[in-house]
Structure 1
Amino acid sequence: MIIVNGEVLNENSIELDSGFLLGKALFETILLKDKPIFFKEHLERINEGLLKIGLKTQISEEYFINNINNVGWKNCAVKLTVSEKNIVFTKREIGYKEKDYVNGFKIKLSHIYRNPKSHFTYLKSVNYIDNLIEREKAISEGYNEAIFINYEKYLSEGSISNLFWIKDKKICTPSLECGLLDGIVRKWVVSNFEVCEGKFQLNDLLNCDGAFLTNSLMGVMRVETVNEKLLKKSDIINDIRLTYEDYIGKL
Structure 2
Amino acid sequence: MILLNGKLEDSEIINLDSGFSFGRGLFETMHVKDRPLFLQQHLDRINKGLKTIRIGKSISNDEVLDAVRRLQCTDSVLKLMVTERNTLFTTRSSRYTEDHYTRGFSASVSSVRRNETSPLVYLKSLNYLDNILEHEKSLDEGFDEVLFLNTQGFLAEGSLSNIFFIKGNTIYTPSLDCGLLDGIIRKFVIDNFTVIEGRFTEADLMSADSAFLTNSIMGIMKLRALNGRQYDESPIIREIQETYKKECSSQAK
Task: Please say whether Structure 1 and Structure 2 have the same fold, judged by a TM-score greater than 0.5.
Answer: yes
Q: Quote the residue 2:134 is aligned against.
A: 134
The TM-score, its normalising length taken from structure 2, stands at 0.98
1:94 corresponds to 2:82: no
Provide the TM-score with structure 1 as the length reference: 0.99
RMSD: 0.7
Q: Tell me, in whole angstroms, the C-alpha distance in 2 between the residues paired with 1:156 and 1:119.
A: 14
What is the alpha-carbon distance in structure 2 between the residues aligned to residue 67 and residue 95 of structure 1? 21
Q: Which residue matches 1:61?
A: 61
Question: How many residues get paired?
Answer: 251
> Residues 133-165 of structure 1: CA distance to partner in whole angstroms, max 9, x if unpaired?
000000011100000000111000000100001
| Matches of 1:164 and 1:227, distance apart in 2 | 16
- Residue in 2 aligned with 1:147? 147
Alignment check: 8 A CA contact 1:106 1:223 kept: yes
- Which AA in structure 1 matches 2:49? G
CA displacement 1:225-246 (0-9 Å, x = unmatched): 0011111221111111111111
Q: State the one-letter code of the partner of 1:21.
A: S
Question: Which digits, 9 at most, give the CA deviation of each residue in 1:65-114, with x for residues without a partner?
Answer: 11221221111111100000000001111111111011000000001000
Structure 2 unmatched runs, 5+? none
- Tell me if the contact between 1:171 and 1:196 (Cα under 8 Å) persists in the aligned partners: yes
Work out the percentage of aligned pairs sharing the same amino acid.
44
**Shift in Å, 1:171:** 0.4
Determine the structure 2 residue equivalent to 1:241.
241
Measured in 2, the distance between the counterparts of 1:159 and 1:222 equals: 16
Distance in 2 (alpha carbons) for counterparts of 1:3 and 1:237: 37
Is 1:215 matched up with 2:206?
no
Aligned to 1:71: 71
> Partner amino acid for 1:234?
S
2:27 partner SS: strand
Q: Corresponding residue for 2:167?
A: 167
Distance 1:246 1:89 in 2: 27
Distance of 1:92 and 1:70 partners within structure 2: 14
Unpaired runs of at least 5, structure 1: none
Secondary structure, aligned partner of 2:78: strand
Q: Which residue of 1 aligns with 2:43?
A: 43
Distance 1:173 1:100 in 2: 22
- Whole-Å Cα distance in 2 between the matches of residues 8 and 140 of structure 1? 36
Match for residue 115 of structure 1? 115
Query: Which letter does structure 1 place at the counterpart of 2:148?
Result: F
> Could you tell me which residue of structure 1 aligns to residue 6 of structure 2?
6
**Conserved? CA contact 1:104–1:221, under 8 Å:** yes
